[in-house]
Structure 1
């Protein structure tokens, strides 16, 4: 495989872009100065990232051995000191009543920015498959969105898309620290994908945004500890010093979407107090993390994922604790995702709207300052709920949570009951197959059975299946869920998918290799920490062969 060196050697540093096509727009994104900055970040922070990932494995081994997550004793002084606050929230970030999320696809970026949501969280992570084209085109799209030049012509629909006069506030979400970027190597190793996403976005947009009176805003995913938060905060400070901009130019919202992190929210806020403005209930990933973290605990096995909603005690406690912690420290507390998409059937659509209203009412009453939706048609519904509750305010920073009982570790870990039935398992299999098959072909955000699915829901599906096999869970009909039973249903659900999509689409697709991968990660003795890691080589093979 040939490589194109785009950055001359500087001391011991050399970044090679592997197997990429030469393109003028790509060359602009990967300019010498942009790569010089990326090189500086990799040199300074990649080794620490590796150490943080090693610490994750150490902690997970403790949980696998029977320990339970809990509040840290060595940082109790941070939690007990009620005097400190995070830096004041900039004006543009104070009103976040409804946020829409989506991938870095050009047309979707325009539609999301035009959706009437207050914020668009544009995702390089779970909503985007990290092919090289997706990641670089995403940077082009966000650059053009920030300078207001973005447009798109859909030849199939004969329709032109461009920004309206009052687009949503743009926040970028880089990849989690666990994901590599195999197209860029430093000293012979793939660099952390998050550093590429962060660096290129800042480099190409900080000046444009400054002229508009804006800082550079990020959503940071998948943190598990205060130390990981400190790593990101050090990256922010390094970047501000590198470019000679003021502290606080970078502002971050942290997704609390892992079980270990919920016990360290004060500590994360403290570590990032110069840059953090909010935390968010990334609840689908949080459910996945609950399963992953407690996968060896037979008394903590969750029911079918379709029965695990925010009304469950452990999830409601998570929401309440996030609100209380954020507001005590002067940060906003964002609610979670409503993944429903519109339906042409009026009765089904009314049911969707009823569920969205119920969910958003719960969040607003819990004290959340805003919420997420996955589709533009649900923005108005979510906005109406928050407007009714906030009564003219733009957030709930003054929300009084004194009536809420103290949230204990026991409440955060409380098991919940629910069905464990064949229909749920079969649906999980189909959803995971549909999603992974799309992901390895470069599509990270997929409508499946009335929901806009990203990697998080596929993670829940496959993690639940692994755990049920691992513990020999007895289903509601009395059957023990075994590897053999799973494989029988996997084969049958492949046939169901073939009937649903048609033989031509099935044969043209990659369902069979998806099924092989899904079988491997569901039945192996060791649990794969992230679905996207073993899926990544399949994505690379598809995309690299096209270049």
Structure 2
């Protein structure tokens, strides 16, 4: 079954639910039509509660207004990648120096319920994971439709239903084994919703523009638009607000696009300007050079920045992958937050946020406690504690964890620094002076590429992709919560090591022969089962890690082929 919002080929009278068509015919042989959105996928139970005619009309207006700018900015990204490959390094922009030097402006800051963010839990929005997050005791739940969610049609719509139901007091879940899950916490985390990045489409929704052309909808606009349209007023009535994490930004122009979308959406629903609050993930090397400018463009809607460290590492590998040995990184597990270029990145983030009145939120602790192996858990908790102690000491206002059992450990480190204060935004880091050279100082990081590191990357990536293809975007692998970002690091490192002819610490040259040998060993160790997607996962891995061309995101091609 499919549902289509009827398109009118003559210009109707404008209404609040539908923008007016251009009364003049477009140039050419066709006539302008009313922009709309068409659902091209089967409807599951209750999907019509989310994909209402009014919600789809709202999404159509968002696309009519902003889809063209999105395409323009994606083209700019492509040129930026070409420039980097040709030797042009990112830099602090001279044309926006006035923004960085102006000490008078500030961002809107925390909205209601966002003042204290000392521990945030991240996770997908399926009903079971949503309930666990809401009962976790964290201050914030990052309800994730991006790296922790495989964007199957069911996950996209049913994740919206989970949030819709919670905000109306109806969220519950019964597992196939009969176990019942309900939200029982007396105080639930503030929800900050993360839509998909600008590069992703929603192929199950088709946008018809004013010229009658059809194209896949934007995943970003679909995720944002459905959540905002259905829930903004309920969130405000509940004493909080519509809050968002913005992923994968590469420039202040992309931040301005989001700000324009927020302003438009607030006007459409009659919500006061500035009600929306956004926290931007600084997870690309390009964005690291534009933190002030990103805050400035979003200043009426901005709460802070987050150190998205896994995607940040991936971005560096992707940007400089073909620039020679200077840019080759060691095993993934050796790229810690204390290596010089990562230290420079986080210190600049805290300084930039606090001088503008914004929250600085620290990075993910992805460890999954293993109750069958107390020694492994004890060592990991000690590492988590040290990581969060460093963040709190550096001035971060909060941090991320992937599992509820990590919350007490992370909270203890932030409690020790914050005490009863909700944050430490007033702690300015005037002692920090970070240069472009420090942000790009990859060679000073110690470490080596080992055969074990190559094997881990191959194995983890294939296992994660297999999970993603089955619809699970956050996968527990080897006591870590792997998501799309960590899989991206794994496959991009394999690509870089292969094309740079890197030699491992054991003396093995990484070439097609050695990778195929390692793949064979990793595949032999895979836990095969009925209905697994390992054959497809291996095919995806080959296409994103072993081919001469480097796909910018592994999820783009895999989504087009398999989801």
TM-score over 0.5 (shorter chain): yes
Shift of 1:391: 2.4
For the Cα contact (< 8 Å) 1:4–1:18, is it kept in 2? yes
1:487 to 516, 520, 530: 516
Query: Is 1:142 matched with 2:170?
Result: no
Does the residue aligned with 1:459 lie in a helix, a strand or coil?
helix
Residues 82-481 of structure 1 correspond to what in structure 2 (within 5 A)?
Answer: 82-156=103-177, 158-187=179-208, 188-298=214-324, 299-344=326-371, 345-404=373-432, 406-415=433-442, 416-481=445-510
**Residue 16 (structure 1) aligns with:** 38
Shift of 1:394: 1.3
Does the residue aligned with 1:93 lie in a helix, a strand or coil?
coil
For the Cα contact (< 8 Å) 1:110–1:161, is it kept in 2? yes
Does the residue aligned with 2:476 lie in a helix, a strand or coil?
strand
For the Cα contact (< 8 Å) 2:109–2:302, is it kept in 1? no
Query: Is 1:61 matched with 2:87?
Result: no
For the Cα contact (< 8 Å) 2:359–2:397, is it kept in 1? yes
Query: Is 1:42 matched with 2:63?
Result: yes
**Residue 543 (structure 1) aligns with:** none
Shift of 1:516: 1.8
Residues 525-536 of structure 1 correspond to what in structure 2 (within 5 A)?
Answer: 525-536=548-559
**Residue 535 (structure 2) aligns with:** 512
Shift of 1:157: 5.2
Shift of 1:407: 0.5
For the Cα contact (< 8 Å) 1:7–1:15, is it kept in 2? no
For the Cα contact (< 8 Å) 1:131–1:539, is it kept in 2? no
For the Cα contact (< 8 Å) 1:150–1:163, is it kept in 2? no
For the Cα contact (< 8 Å) 1:152–1:162, is it kept in 2? no
Looking at structure 1, the residues matched to 509 and 471 of structure 2 have their Cα atoms a distance apart, in angstroms, of 36
Shift of 1:508: 3.2
Does the residue aligned with 2:456 lie in a helix, a strand or coil?
helix
Looking at structure 2, the residues matched to 108 and 539 of structure 1 have their Cα atoms a distance apart, in angstroms, of 24
Does the residue aligned with 1:493 lie in a helix, a strand or coil?
helix
Structure richer in helix, relative to its length: 1
For the Cα contact (< 8 Å) 2:150–2:468, is it kept in 1? yes
For the Cα contact (< 8 Å) 1:151–1:163, is it kept in 2? no
Does the residue aligned with 1:293 lie in a helix, a strand or coil?
helix
Shift of 1:4: 2.5
Looking at structure 2, the residues matched to 464 and 88 of structure 1 have their Cα atoms a distance apart, in angstroms, of 37
Shift of 1:163: 3.6
Does the residue aligned with 1:92 lie in a helix, a strand or coil?
coil
Does the residue aligned with 1:508 lie in a helix, a strand or coil?
coil
Shift of 1:213: 2.2
For the Cα contact (< 8 Å) 1:7–1:36, is it kept in 2? no
How many residues in Structure 1 have an aligned counterpart in Structure 2? 531
Shift of 1:3: 4.5
Looking at structure 2, the residues matched to 376 and 366 of structure 1 have their Cα atoms a distance apart, in angstroms, of 24
Shift of 1:159: 3.1
Unmatched 5+ residue regions in structure 2? Answer: 9-17, 19-32, 209-213
Shift of 1:403: 2.8
Residues 33 and 317 from structure 1, CA distance in 2 versus in 1: closer, same or farther, beyond 3 angstroms? same
Shift of 1:440: 1.0
Does the residue aligned with 2:306 lie in a helix, a strand or coil?
strand
What TM-score results when the alignment is normalised by the length of structure 1? 0.95
Shift of 1:88: 4.0
For the Cα contact (< 8 Å) 1:442–1:539, is it kept in 2? no
For the Cα contact (< 8 Å) 1:17–1:184, is it kept in 2? yes
* CA-to-aligned-CA distance 1:193-230 (integer Å, 9 cap, x gap): 11000000011101211211222001110000000000
